[in-house]
Structure 1
Amino acid sequence: MAAIPSHFRQWFDQQDWKILPHQKAMAERYRQGLSTLLTAPTGTGKTLAGFIGSLIDIDARRPKGLHTLYISPLKALNYDIERNVVALVKALNLPVTLESRTGDTSAYRRKRQRAKPPHILLTTPESLMLLLSYPDAAEMFGSIEAVIIDEIHQVAASKRGDLIALALAQLEAYRPGYRRIGLSATVAEPDLFSMWLGPTGAPVPHLDSPGGKPPKVHILKTMEAIPYGGFMAKYAVPEIMAEIVKAKTTIVFVNTRAQAELLFQLLWEANDEALAIAIYHASLTRELRAKTQAMMAEGKLRAVVATAAIELGIDWGNVDVVIQVGAPKGVSRLLQRIGRSNHQVDVPSKAFLVPANQFEVLECEAAISAIAARHLDGDEPLPGAQDVVIQFIMNAACSAPITPHGLHDIVARSWSYHHLKYEQFEELFQFVIDGGYALRAYDRWHRLVKRDGAWVPSTPQMIQRHRQNIGVIIEAGKLKVRKIHGRGGRYLGEIEEQFGQSLSPGDTFYFGGEVLAFERIQDMTLHARASTAKEPRIPTYSGGQMPLSTFLADGVRGLLQDEDALNGLPKLVRNWLMLQARFSQLPDRKSLLVESFPRGMLFATVLYTFEGRRANQTLGMLFSRRMERLGLHPLSFTVTDYGLAITSVKAVTGESIYELLRADILSDELEEWLSESPMLKRSFRRVATIAGLVEQNHNSARKTLKQVTFSTDLIYDVLRKYDPGHVLLALTRADAERELLDLDRLTDMILNFQSHIEFRALPRPSPMSLPVILDVRTERLPGGGLEALLAQGDVETQAERMMAEVEHGLMA
């Protein structure tokens, strides 16, 4: 019997498509009952390959109940897949029912889906966990034959991946031996992802399809010189607009929502031909995003300025070219974005990179070289976070009575938690029961009670509270944005509460491609009117910065030591690096370059770490604390992905640099800083929310960030004082180290380079230091540095002298 029946093959012929080898292989593997991790380039029918075995099986057997579960990280991707698979089902007249289940699904459809599940259900990690919390979960999922996880690289290395790992283990208890199918275009370590996808000790086989032509990627040539510093690439707007004019459809990617808003305005001002251009990011309403997506698919837009919200497998129609503005930060991420253009196997995708400054030219060149060599990067799955286990324990109890041993057996079946010992799990379980020693006196944290030898939720209200707060995405407080028209108006999306609270009546800001004037905030809604102001503010968004991948950072270091690669750089950048080599030296892979030079009456120290913004931020805090201890009086520091610059009253010397970078900085200064820093409270807020200690949602209302923060700060202080060994405090520290501090990466750097430091005392700023010290994102430091500066004279005069010295360094 052929793996792909004749009427399926006829459909492929009618579309003038070839059945690709990996699609045939996936159909055959499904028929044999095998699980598979499929890696295949974008545009090679990867998603169809994942579904084809299920469609053939349903067509042949006509089963009842839920047959296939599809999980993706984006609701928009679910809707796109639903549209495409439904079109195939209708074209072949297959007896297949298919529906999506997300947070946007109506209550009526949700109830019907549980009573009469479709053959194929498309969902997100959070919606799946909600379904698993109901008493009928075992019945609903007991007939499942396959689970498809799309864009597996995007979720496996996150807490959402931990949710999926636990859900897969729970499904194994309901339906042992179901097929597990993972899909991705960009997995750097397939063996690791194969282990993550399979049950403990049973990695799924990996099928790799290298098909498809490599993309054509170039740095966009511009008339204006690439600046030393900056992050918006304003200099390239004319050339970006020219590419949009030449192409039928273009996606212009940026790395943050703030960049999307600003670049859209810059392009709109340069849009002399009044071409249809839109903006797309996650803070816009679903209706606006759906409208943009539909217009793009129908060919009604010439360009869309977008963030990562569309970089995954959504079909955006016939996109001719992708333009990445700003450095890509990762090779795999860049390939995902490039893959949005030319969804054809035999046609290479076309993309331009637009570096925002001269350092980013190096990153773009390193990414282009990696793509040519078919090298990938990306985050790898880590041992699962334990606050997610706490949420899962409560989730399982909402579905059926549980025991610690029985549930630990299920949790330990996942690769993410096979390391979790029963003693650790028992401590997490006890927290769900009563909140622990310091909290058990309060009824609100008594979530489980024992009945007939098993544990169940203490009240129906506990079940309701849990279901309203399932998930691991802890967002900053949001305000809905309503644009007022006369007495009416319409919603445009959401803006972060902190930014909204900073506005006064009459203040203007960019949002959704428009300029708005703030009027008032009422009932968690920001009301604003259209404005023609010329200098509006740009909304700020927390967590918007993407970290530079370790692989790409190493590629930049390698490029600086490759004479042939340097000769291929733009002349301006090549000259910049030649000046750096003559004036100081170029960084290399074997040592840490540190420069010190005067800035007016002050001094600057620049460390070229190439470790990403988060690790550099942490190093800046620790390094400046040790500088203060040594009497060097640090004033402020600036970080980029490539380096750290600290301004101080006294100079760092060749002797003091080794003291400043001793390995014990990771213990002494770290412990002191964390004990005083609000960072652990911020991390505790996330952990406590995921663990159900506090709720973001209560009945129909959503708590403000201020309300949640007040509650968690109070609990944090109580636990530290009365129960310092509480399990959530330990989880908070682990969460901070992994999510906020990038401590593993920083530790590796210090241990590798502490005895290999190249120190340069210079008379003025070096060419390579300029993009770091000119970065606008500077953090002022408390302490004796400012007091020492005040003792020297007028602060404004000192600042003027500093800038004059920087400008002198630029011209020299």
Structure 2
Amino acid sequence: MAATSETLRDQFPEAFENWFASKGWSIHPHQQEMLARANEPSLMLIAPTGGGKTLAGFLPTLVDLAEQPHEGMHTLYVSPLKALAADIKRNLRTPVDEMGLNIRIEDRTGDTSYTQRRRQRADPPHILLTTPESLALMTSYEDAARTFQGLKRVVVDEIHALADSKRGDQLMLALARLQQICPDLRRVGLSATVDKPEEIAGLLAKQPDPCTILRADPGPDPDIQMLTTNEPPPWSGGGAAYAIPAVLEQIKQHNTTLIFHNTRAQAEIFFHNLWLANEEGLPIGIHHGSLDRDQRLKVEAAMVRGDLRAIVCTGSLDLGIDWGDVDLVIQIGAPKNVKRLVQRIGRANHRYNAPSKALLVPANRFEVVECTAALQAVLDQDLDGETRGPGPLDVLCQHILLRAASGPFLADDLFSEMTSVGAYTDLDRETFDACLDFCATGGYALRAYDQWQRLKQAPDGSWHLRDPRAASKIRMNAGTIQDADLLKVRMKRSRGGKPLGEVEEAFAASLLPGDTFLIGGQIVKYEGLREMTVEVSKDARKKPKVAVFSGTKFSTSTQLSQRILRLFQQHDWPELPSHTAEWLSLQRHVSRLPEPGRLLIESFPHNSRQHICVYGFAGRNAQQTLGLLLTKRMEDLGLAPLGFVSTDYATLIWGLDEVTDPSALLNRDAIHAGLEGWLAGNALIKRTFRGVATIAGLIERNTPGQRKSGRQATFSSDILYDTLLKYDPDHLLMRITREEAMRGLVDFSRIEEMLDRVEDRIDLVRLDRVTPLAAPLLLEVGKVYVGESAEERLLEEEEAALMKAAGLA
């Protein structure tokens, strides 16, 4: 029940009313509602960007602390980003200082000094701003109960960004630990973008208690459309170089523009091209996660001061930082995910009841269709999102070790605590005991090794660390973020040249002296590798030979893929540009367009090779896996494939023989068998194992005084993987690895969803030439070459032809 206006006035002190009035503000209804419901066990507020949701989350805290003194920590704020925590700290100081409130506010992240972290444990501030990783560490100390004694509220900001990741699972397990220390703890979740509110609320709540969901007025619909350009997009490619003049013109017409990209490499290349075209010298910056921290902070400070007209960025700026002068967001390339697009749109016009303005810039012809479908989804407020599976067990294992680091525990108590977390409510005791056994002994195949004998049980039944000194190692290796192995990049000078950022180790290994690449918007030349640091020098060339790194490629969501398929079924396409509508019309004329519930496969010859194009619309990872599995099936059937290439919507395979019966390739049992065989010996699954084993605590990335290099850690994990595969294939971590690979690495669930969707409705269209929809795949980068039998046949044919030409046959 909503509170009455009289009750709300009682809850809102005069000092706060006066402060709001001095700003020319009035309290929003959702802020009033958060005050009125402050004592409920858990609340989740969904409010538009600029709607004051962060202040709404903190108002009950500020009012409570203003009216009665509090010893120790009152409220804990958790953010996905260190930068966001720092930004909130600055913003909170304004009302606290201007109202003269005696409230200590501090942040605690990976950048906080050891001295300050230690002091915060002994003398915590009233409000502590932190991240999931730092919170997990704080709960692992012996004095955690004293540090958090008296804690009343936890505010989780941008909760949607945590709910989809292991960081969110880690956070919720830490909250369960805090709830044991502070039984009356209140939980608050804040978000502007939630696709499944009830599901996320279930993660936030202490089960089986419900979580109240409050929805603010969503405000006006965003002003979002496709950018009009003089030149049509190309058939293939992802750089959107054709749109540079039009983007530059938009920058000139607006105060501050954020230009989002899906990968860091694309952001670097676009920034470079934009700067070359920036003849007026407009101040433009670049921001992404691989740049040096000082450079990122400089860009953020310049944005706060309003010194930049535009900033080229990636997901590093997806969330929450309040830059009021941003009046335009440009998304380069199809967004792949409607929820992500809505989040990015919200960065513009960070004010309540002001429509966000955004422009989409498709990088190629197909992305015009995808951007159109995404636009419609945004206007329909149809956010996409996959249903999450059960809580990951590697995170649960890490939490057991962190819990042991803080002191002895009883297995029954810890099991009860963990099953109060939404993602782990269905955890059975047998699985929990298997995780506990792994933490204690390493599991069946490893229990003979002392290094994995970490826990032991006391006569009273409690579990504790076998060696108390192991606590520091456990803390050093805590966390769920698994970045690629990164090497620092510095200017070659005397020791300690200027840091520029980081590149992936595999990329650095591919460089030769003299190679050029982009980082931080400038071209540098590779000079050499010194003490795990990539040394570079400036290079004046306008075209770098190689890009900085491959970056992560998002897959188009299932919901967005289905929208594209439905859009294909229109009689004509008045909402599409004429060049794209004509392209689809030509495809329909010479072949057909893919349909929902059916699988289109085209067969055609090209460059003396037979091609098939499978339009699965299953996302890039799944289509890549499909290419691997189908070419393996073709090998087994004697069809001599040579290679394949995949995009989000199709897989193109070429070989020596024509495929006349695609149903034989798509036999579900054969595909499953092929997947199992491929996974068992694949190098990529070893990378998945490495991530799982690191999170679960089997592999130590950090030891006192040193950090393992990527190669050392890979070597260790490869040996462990091969050992377990041979002697203990059902080991807990092997089971987790297979499940992870099926979901993420190969995205096999999307292939199964596709097979379920189409059943036996497969349309093979045999043609005499390439089709408009298949043509872009011929230009796609990332081709995978396969087919030993095909190569042998080609060699035999070439040998026979040579012998015949020589008169020997």
Does TM, normalized by the shorter one, top 0.5?
A: yes
Distance across 1 between alignment mates of 2:739 and 2:683: 15
Contact 1:249 1:321 in 2 (8 A): yes
Residue 18 of structure 1: CA displacement? 2.8
Contact 1:499 1:539 in 2 (8 A): no
User: What is aligned with 1:373?
Assistant: 380
Residue 540 of structure 1: CA displacement? 5.1
Alignment partner of 2:693 out of 688, 691, 694: 688
The answer as to 2:478 corresponding to 1:470 is: yes
User: What is aligned with 1:175?
Assistant: 182
The answer as to 2:301 corresponding to 1:294 is: yes
Contact 1:157 1:380 in 2 (8 A): no
AA aligned to 1:499 is F
User: What is aligned with 1:700?
Assistant: 705
Worse overlay, 528-537 or 393-402 = 528-537
Q: TM-score, normalising length from structure 1?
A: 0.95
- What whole-Å deviation, never above 9, does each CA across 1:513-538 have from its counterpart, x for those lacking one? 11111112222211111111233244
* 1:489 aligned counterpart, secondary structure: coil
Contact 2:264 2:551 in 1 (8 A): no
The answer as to 2:231 corresponding to 1:224 is: yes
Alignment partner of 2:346 out of 328, 339, 348: 339
User: What is aligned with 2:29?
Assistant: 21
Contact 2:621 2:747 in 1 (8 A): yes
Aligned length: 790
Moved over 3 A (4+): 484-488, 537-543, 789-794
Residue 542 of structure 1: CA displacement? 5.9
User: What is aligned with 1:573?
Assistant: 580
Distance across 2 between alignment mates of 1:78 and 1:555: 37
Contact 1:157 1:382 in 2 (8 A): no
Alignment partner of 1:434 out of 409, 417, 441: 441
* 2:497 aligned counterpart, secondary structure: strand
Worse overlay, 660-669 or 350-359 = 660-669
The answer as to 2:414 corresponding to 1:392 is: no
Structural mapping, 1:176-191, within 5 Å: 176-191=183-198
User: What is aligned with 1:729?
Assistant: 734
User: What is aligned with 1:489?
Assistant: 497
Contact 2:517 2:548 in 1 (8 A): no
Distance across 1 between alignment mates of 2:777 and 2:194: 32
User: What is aligned with 2:675?
Assistant: 670
AA aligned to 1:374 is Q
* 2:445 aligned counterpart, secondary structure: coil
User: What is aligned with 2:639?
Assistant: 632
User: What is aligned with 2:803?
Assistant: none
Distance across 2 between alignment mates of 1:270 and 1:793: 50
Contact 1:663 1:751 in 2 (8 A): no
Distance across 2 between alignment mates of 1:304 and 1:261: 11
* 1:49 aligned counterpart, secondary structure: helix
Q: 1:250 to 1:730 in 2, by over 3 A?
A: same
User: What is aligned with 1:65?
Assistant: 72
The answer as to 2:518 corresponding to 1:513 is: no
Q: 1:381 to 1:13 in 2, by over 3 A?
A: farther
The answer as to 2:561 corresponding to 1:561 is: no
Contact 1:547 1:612 in 2 (8 A): yes
User: What is aligned with 2:755?
Assistant: 750
AA aligned to 1:270 is A
The answer as to 2:292 corresponding to 1:285 is: yes
Contact 1:666 1:747 in 2 (8 A): no
Alignment partner of 2:137 out of 108, 130, 138: 130
Alignment partner of 1:766 out of 759, 768, 771: 771
User: What is aligned with 2:487?
Assistant: 479
Structural mapping, 1:524-539, within 5 Å: 524-539=532-547
Contact 1:153 1:186 in 2 (8 A): yes
Structural mapping, 1:4-403, within 5 Å: 4-30=12-38, 32-403=39-410
Residue 443 of structure 1: CA displacement? 1.1
* 1:210 aligned counterpart, secondary structure: coil
AA aligned to 1:9 is E
Contact 2:632 2:674 in 1 (8 A): yes
* 1:154 aligned counterpart, secondary structure: helix
- What whole-Å deviation, never above 9, does each CA across 1:658-706 have from its counterpart, x for those lacking one? 1111221342111111122223212111111111111111223221111
The answer as to 2:418 corresponding to 1:420 is: no
- What whole-Å deviation, never above 9, does each CA across 1:324-360 have from its counterpart, x for those lacking one? 1000111110111111111112321111110011110
* 2:348 aligned counterpart, secondary structure: coil
Q: 1:677 to 1:485 in 2, by over 3 A?
A: closer
Residue 543 of structure 1: CA displacement? 5.7
User: What is aligned with 2:666?
Assistant: 661
User: What is aligned with 1:622?
Assistant: 629
Contact 2:225 2:375 in 1 (8 A): yes
Q: TM-score, normalising length from structure 2?
A: 0.95
Distance across 2 between alignment mates of 1:537 and 1:696: 33
Contact 1:262 1:538 in 2 (8 A): no
Distance across 1 between alignment mates of 2:719 and 2:168: 30
Contact 1:603 1:647 in 2 (8 A): yes
Residue 199 of structure 1: CA displacement? 1.5
AA aligned to 2:466 is S
Q: Could you say what the CA RMSD is over the residues aligned between the two structures, in angstroms?
A: 1.6
Contact 2:265 2:550 in 1 (8 A): no
* 1:667 aligned counterpart, secondary structure: helix
- What whole-Å deviation, never above 9, does each CA across 1:200-245 have from its counterpart, x for those lacking one? 2223011111332111111111111211111111111111111112
Contact 1:261 1:538 in 2 (8 A): no
Distance across 1 between alignment mates of 2:89 and 2:794: 63
Residue 256 of structure 1: CA displacement? 0.4
User: What is aligned with 2:802?
Assistant: none
AA aligned to 2:703 is H
Distance across 1 between alignment mates of 2:448 and 2:41: 51
* 2:610 aligned counterpart, secondary structure: strand
Q: 1:132 to 1:733 in 2, by over 3 A?
A: same
Distance across 2 between alignment mates of 1:727 and 1:601: 49
Worse overlay, 34-43 or 258-267 = 34-43
* 1:337 aligned counterpart, secondary structure: helix
Q: Unmatched 5+ residue regions in structure 2?
A: 1-6, 800-809
Contact 1:495 1:539 in 2 (8 A): no
Distance across 1 between alignment mates of 2:598 and 2:119: 62
Contact 1:211 1:345 in 2 (8 A): no
Q: 1:44 to 1:538 in 2, by over 3 A?
A: farther
Structural mapping, 1:778-789, within 5 Å: 778-789=783-794
Q: Unmatched 5+ residue regions in structure 1?
A: 795-812
Contact 1:258 1:538 in 2 (8 A): no
Residue 56 of structure 1: CA displacement? 0.9
- What whole-Å deviation, never above 9, does each CA across 1:490-518 have from its counterpart, x for those lacking one? 11211111111221222211101111111
* 1:499 aligned counterpart, secondary structure: helix
- What whole-Å deviation, never above 9, does each CA across 1:435-494 have from its counterpart, x for those lacking one? 122212211111112335322212233111111110011122111111235776211211
Distance across 2 between alignment mates of 1:552 and 1:153: 19
Residue 312 of structure 1: CA displacement? 0.7
* 1:597 aligned counterpart, secondary structure: strand
Q: 1:487 to 1:72 in 2, by over 3 A?
A: closer
* Percent identical: 45
Q: 1:199 to 1:303 in 2, by over 3 A?
A: same
Distance across 2 between alignment mates of 1:503 and 1:678: 22
User: What is aligned with 2:744?
Assistant: 739
